[in-house]
Amino acid sequence: MPEYQKFEHDVLVIGAGGAGLRAAIEASAANVRVGLICKSLLGKAHTVMAEGGIAAALGTVNNADNWKVHFADTMRGGQYLNNWRMAELHAKEAPTCVRELEGWGAVFDRTKEGDILQRNFGGHRYPRLAHVGDRTGLEMIRTLQDYGIHQGIDVHMECTIISLLKEGDRVVGAFGYDRQRGRFLLFQTKAVVLATGGVGRAYKITSNSWEYTGDGQSLAYNAGADLMDMEFVQFHPTGMIWPPSVAGILVTEGVRGEGGVLRNNQGRRFMFDDIPEAYKHQTADNEEEGWRYCQGDKTARRPPELLTRDHVARCIMREVKAGRGSPHGGVFLDISWIKEKISNAPEHIKRKLPSMYHQFKQLADLDITTTPMEVGPTTHYIMGGVKVNAETQMSTISGLFAAGECAAGLHGANRLGGNSLSDLLVFGKRAGKFAATFAKEHTQGKINTDQVDGIARKALEPFDRGAATPSDAQGPYQIQHELQQKMQDLVGIVRTEHDMQQALTEIEHLKQRAAKASVHGNREYNAGWHTALDLPNLLTVSEAITRAAIERKESRGGHFREDYQAKDKTFGELNIIVRRGPGGEMQVVRERIPPLPAELEQIIKEQQQ
């Protein structure tokens, strides 16, 4: 019988990026015992990679900004599939959450008046992103980490959860292993907060780290919770494309916010060629106006480079397909041109975009202050995830909460840049608060030890198979690479029924192969074994993305169908739900979005002017 170490908490937070840390801090403030699971070391989670900033209507740069404008921008960006209550709470609570970080030691860039400086970003009407150069995510995670370590939270580093444990309809524990020694760990808990981030590792070209294997979405799905909006994957328009080994690494939207422009190989600013109707009245129609906007001219409209990410990504694809791309299959992003406008351009660029300067200099031998970058779309974010209650962040399973990227609702069909970091803060805080309340109202449940033994034995099977087969014909890495290639080719930026049906067949094959994956060596820090255990999660989310994408027969936000290119009003009123059926099969259900309350509808109307 496999052995395991046992821990007991009131609230177990799985994931230690922005949302997980914020949830753990809030729960511990409510005087419950909190355990925090980090898949990596503390402070290394994917939040560190966020560059641009935290969207919050602080109004420090343009005092016309307020929560209503932020709410309307978020809804418009999400093409009205958003959970409107989440969008409302988010817009109202984000400013307080940003101020809170400052009180915990965060040092944001400042305005001349000594307030928090805010920058422009795609889809946001006013300068709204509180930031620190282009390393805002690092500032956020470090602030939360340095504050959190003094709050009495039990931190379990380098630990992966492979299953949630239920008693009846309620979640009562979690089971996993520590990476360093490979020992099994059992957590008994009254409530669980999932804050595991996204699914980028299901795709070949991604800005996401190895951790992003859809753990939270899969854990929730396997526990019987509903997933929502899984078809909406965000392909960030600007990832590095050259050299090949760095393909996918993010190039922040902040480059465009600071005046960077997109050009094709003919030197044309192609973003002016296709401006969607809904954004026409607030988008500049000439280059001069776009530049004035980036310089803080309040009367100017924003340049088309700052349209929403889904649109910019598709425009780039169009240029590449039409043969107007850059040598390595992308387009040019140029910030160096601003030397025509300001005298100290190289210094200015280095100060505003230090990590971008560094990243290109070191990884691509390219000086962004003199030379345009080559960029192309990269899998960046999933709007969908665990369906949650807007107020409490509880999923459809009692005691199971979710926050941040692994939860669905706030972003609808497309997320605006900067709304992720604020999402982590606002809903991490709420999840922590309500998970603590739930824990106080409940006693510990009963752990089914037979079930635990079964999970542990299954987790060790790859070693048994490895011992039986000397060569690794079913190596976990090969299976993962094939899945990434298939998802990239068949369920990427442009989708068709035919491709996606083929993807389902491929996923089915890969599932069978994953069930036979074998690994060698021992349990200590064995990345092959870890990958073998991540595979089922990747396959589950890949299938969920594909099935939901097949169901949505229209194009909207991050989901673009070549066979249904227009928006369809019917689909504009519903979310796609994915859940595990009684026989273990994946079910896809359409769910109507509740009608918008009159006062929110009024806000949206007012803001359309």
Could you say which of 63, 64, 146, 565 contacts another protein (CB under 8 A)? 146
594 contacts another protein (rule: CB under 8 A): no
Nearer to another protein, 135 or 486 (CB): 135
Is residue 229 at the binding interface for another protein, with CB under 8 A as the rule? no
Closer to another protein by CB, 109 or 489: give it. Answer: 109
Q: CB 219 → another protein: shortest distance, Å?
A: 20
Q: What is the DSSP letter of 593?
A: P
Query: Exposure pattern of 349-368 as b/e (b: 16+ CB <10 Å)?
Result: bbebbebbbebbeeebebeb
CB of 477 to another protein, least distance (A): 4
Choose between 95 and 445: whose C-beta lies nearer to another protein: 95
- Active-site choice (128, 256, 523, 547): 256
Residue choice 3, 113, 441, 599 for contact with another protein (CB under 8 A): 113
**Residue 411 backbone dihedrals phi, psi, to 5 degrees:** -95, -10
Structure tokens at 443: 């006693």
Which one of residues 376, 404, 475, 557 is an interface residue with another protein (CB under 8 A)?
475
Q: Which of 531/542 has CB closer to another protein?
A: 531
> Please, which residue, 82 or 196, has the CB nearer to another protein?
196
In a 13 Å sphere around the CA of 370, the CA atoms on its Cβ side amount to 4
Asked if residue 245 binds another protein (CB under 8 A), the reply is yes
Is residue 460 close enough to count as binding another protein by CB under 8 A? no
* Distance set, CA 39 to CA 62, 166, 378, 384 (Å): 40, 22, 23, 21
Pick the binder of another protein from 149, 278, 322, 473 (CB under 8 A).
149
User: Residue 42 and residue 157: Cα distance in Å, rounded?
Assistant: 6
Residues near 204 by beta carbon (within 8 Å), at least 6 away in sequence: 248, 481, 484, 485, 487, 488
Interface pick for another protein out of 29, 300, 363, 604 (rule CB under 8 A): 363
Residues composing the chain: 609
278 binds another protein (CB under 8 A): no
Contacts with another protein, 26-45, as mask; x by CB under 8 A: --------------xxxxxx
| Tokens 């249904």 -> residue | 564
Q: Quick one: which segment of 113-121, 263-271, 553-561, 568-576 binds another protein (CB under 8 A)?
A: 113-121
One residue of 5, 31, 64, 107 binding another protein per CB under 8 A: 107
Distance in angstroms (rounded) separating the CA atoms of residues 515 and 513: 5
Residue closest to 396 by CA, chosen among 573, 549, 230, 577: 577
44 versus 263: smaller Cβ distance to another protein? 44
- The single residue among 243, 276, 296, 597 that binds another protein, judged by CB under 8 A, is 243
Task: Quote the least distance from Cβ 110 to another protein, whole Å.
Answer: 4
Whether the Cβ atoms of residue 226 and residue 372 lie closer than 8 Å to each other? no
> Is 529 a binder of another protein (CB under 8 A)?
yes
Beta strands (DSSP E) in 39-125 are 54-55, 118-119
Query: Which one of 115, 154, 489, 554 is in contact with another protein (CB under 8 A)?
Result: 115
**Active-site hit among 9, 156, 179, 236:** 236
CA distances from 586 to 169, 177, 452, 579 (A): 19, 27, 24, 6
Binding mask 44-73 for another protein (x = CB under 8 A): xxx-xx------------------------
The dihedral region occupied by 373, where left means phi > 0, alpha psi between -120 and 50, and beta the remainder, is beta
Q: What is the DSSP letter of 246?
A: G
The DSSP secondary-structure symbol of 482 reads: H
Q: How far is the CB of 527 from another protein (least distance, A)?
A: 6
3-state SS assignment for residue 374:
strand
The residues in 318-347 that bind another protein, with binding defined as CB under 8 A, are: none
> How far apart are alpha carbons 214 and 589 in whole angstroms?
20
Give the containing element (helix H, strand E) for 221. helix 215-222
Distance, CA of 242 to CA of 365 (rounded, Å): 10
516 binds another protein (CB under 8 A): no
Report phi then psi at 242, rounded to 5. -140, 140
**Residue 362 in contact with another protein, rule: CB under 8 A:** yes
Select 122 or 528, whichever has its Cβ closest to another protein. Answer: 528
Cα gap 253→251, rounded to integer Å: 7
Burial of 90 (0-12, 13-18, 19+ CB in 10 A): buried
Residue 520 interacts with another protein (CB under 8 A): yes or no: yes
| Phi, then psi, of 94 in degrees rounded to 5 | -60, -45
The verdict on whether 256 is a catalytic residue reads yes
DSSP string, 126-162: S--EE-STT-HHHHHHHHHHHHHTTTT-EEE-SEEEE
Rounded distance, CA 305 to CA 334, Å? 11
Quick check: 471 binds another protein (CB under 8 A)?
no
Could you say which of 138, 144, 153, 410 contacts another protein (CB under 8 A)? 138
Q: What are residue 236's DSSP bridge partners?
A: 378
Active site residue 314: no
CB of 479 to another protein, least distance (A): 11
Q: Which is nearer to another protein, 282 or 355 (CB)?
A: 355
* Nearest to another protein of 321, 358 (CB atom): 358
User: Does 360 sit near another protein (CB under 8 A)?
Assistant: no
Of the candidate spans 67-75, 146-154, 329-337, 496-504, the one that interacts with another protein by CB under 8 A turns out to be 146-154
Residues with a known catalytic role: 236, 256
Residues that bind another protein (CB under 8 A): 40-46, 48-49, 99, 102-105, 107, 109-110, 113-115, 132-133, 135, 137-139, 142, 146-147, 149-150, 155, 157, 180, 209-211, 242-246, 249-250, 354-355, 358-359, 362-364, 472, 475-478, 481, 519-522, 524-529
